[in-house]
Structures are given as C-alpha cells and as structure tokens.
Amino acid sequence: METMALFIVVDVFGRSVELSLERYLHIASAHPEIEGKQDALQEILQKPDFVKESKNDPHTRLFYKKINNNEYHLIIVKYEVEDAFILTSYFSEYIKGGKILWKN
C-alpha cells in the first residue's frame, strides 16, 4: 500500500524529500506546535540556517532554522538510496552534535 504524500520538495542538497500524511499525523500528535506548518517545513528544507549530519546515523540530516532568540525549528530527514523523507520535526533550544554539512 502506497502512502499519500502531503508534499515532495527539493532540499538544499538537490534531493527530493517527502512528507507523507502518516508521518505528518504522527509528528502533529507528538508535537502539536508543528500542526499546520507544512509551508514552513518546505521552506526550511529549501532555506535552512544550517544542516548537520546525525552523529548516530550518517544517512540522517538535521535541518535547523532559528525562529526566535533561543529556539530553532528542527526537521530530521532520513536519506535512502532512492528517496528521502521527514522522520520528525519539532521546536528545540538545543543543537545536537554532528558535523555541519551545509550553512547559510
């Protein structure tokens, strides 16, 4: 059974990243501050402040966009050979460890 994509957007690395309805509902239930922010998610993937590689998984990237003085909107994307998809997204005051892959 195929999942329904809410959107597919090309990120700063030139890869197509998908947000499925299933992932969006999961994210919005765990992080209600993300509900209704599909446009912001797309914009962050295209114009983040910086992107880090996960120190736990080299196939996972963390997209950060500052939203106020001490908080970032974070999107975590999993990259596979043929596709990439959003795992989760939330607001965070903490910047995770890992190598910077891209910086604005």
Residue 1 pLDDT > 60: no
Tokens of 60: 């996972």
Find the mean pLDDT for residues 35-55. Answer: 97
Q: Where residue 3 falls among pLDDT bands split at 50, 70, 90?
A: confident
- Cβ neighbors of 44 (< 8 A, separation 6 or more) are 63, 65, 73, 75
pLDDT tens-digit readout, 18-44: 999 999 999 999 999 999 999 999 999
